[in-house]
Amino acid sequence: MVMFIRAEIERLGGEYRFETRVEGFDMEGEGTERRLRGLRLSNGETQPAERVILAVGHSARDTFEMLRDAQVEMDAKPFSIGVRIEHPQSVIDVARFGASAGHEMLGAADYKLVHHASNGRAVYSFCMCPGGQVVAATSEEGQVVTNGMSQYSRAERNANSGIVVEVKPELDFPDDVLGGVAFQRKWEKAAFVAGGSNYNAPAQRVGDFLAGRPSISLGAVVPSYQPGVTPTDLTQCLPAFVTDAIREALPQFERKLRGFSMEDAVMTGVETRTSSPIRLRRDREGQSPTLRGLFPAGEGAGYAGGILSAGIDGIRAAEWLAASL
């Protein structure tokens, strides 16, 4: 599908610049009267541009730093962190479909779960991947980050989902515009160390996690993360308020989905990139109030939380840009 989208954009006159990074802006004016005039690229070129849709992903940390240095207004925003949990897909199918589990018309079952913990935090499932796998998603050296995906067939042996806990600016990290990025990096580095400092991910059996003991081996559930996992204690690489909330939530999730807190289910850390840790401000016309002509959009700008909502926000940004012409 992505290849077809690219081909259609090129057919209509669009151009892709691969291996090319935006490293700065050419601007004119001062304060709220600043206007965009071009983009400074990593290959030394300057691309003239009076209107730009900025649609970076939620892990574009170098771009966030460039935007801060360019005094583009943005704020720290809440996000969530936690783990990826894996069960045999058959366990989830039976919990959701009962005697009809395995019927070809039903396919692989999914779920959505939420629990409001006694420490005031919301714990919820995120990006549930039926018949999928846990994947490596780090964007920097010396860090471990997990994510999840499913192939179209949803036919892999395990189901996986993020089980994450909300993180709040000022409460959990300093009220600095990039404080959330520093918070993410801290726990991603801790996960790297806990996993053996070789890009293995730290993992723990649910039974061990609930009992408060490190895992020294895994059981019947074979984790799908590559290059591999290291059995350990996930409290080494997550804040206490996160592990406390998840430990409280798992038995509650068991009441909704039988087998969810099974002893051998595997939790793999850490899931830190649920959404962008920043939000780029934009006005009623969709433009940055401190750099006219810049249209922040999508997940990295803090206005979406997944593929569908990012696509919708992209349509809005295109409409705002068209209205400005």
- The CATH number given to whatever domain includes residue 64 is 3.50.50.60
Give CA–CA dist 205/85, Å, rounded.
Answer: 9
Element (H, E) at 74: strand 74-76
Domains identified in the chain, total number: 2
Residues 58 and 132 in one domain: no
- Residues 217-254: pLDDT tens digits? 999 999 999 999 999 999 999 999 999 999 999 999 99
Give CA–CA dist 272/58, Å, rounded.
Answer: 11
| pLDDT number for residue 306 | 84
Residues 236 and 300 in one domain: no
Give CA–CA dist 194/188, Å, rounded.
Answer: 10
| Beta bridge pairs of residue 31 | none
Residues 240 and 299 in one domain: no
Write out the residue range of the structural domain in which residue 48 sits: 1-76+278-323
Residues 42 and 72 in one domain: yes
| pLDDT number for residue 189 | 98
Tokens, residue 13 = 């006159």
- pLDDT at residue 2 greater than cutoff 90: no
Model pTM?
Answer: 0.93
Residue the block writes with tokens 């609930």: 210
Q: Are 131 and 145 in contact (CB under 8 A)?
A: no
Residues 296 and 209 in one domain: no
Domain stops at, among 251, 271, 291: 271
Q: Residue 240: CB partners within 8 Å, gap ≥ 6?
A: none
Q: Which of 30-34, 173-177, 239-243 has the highest mean pLDDT?
A: 239-243
Q: Are 85 and 129 in contact (CB under 8 A)?
A: no
Residues 41 and 109 in one domain: no
- Over residues 109-136, the mean pLDDT reads 97
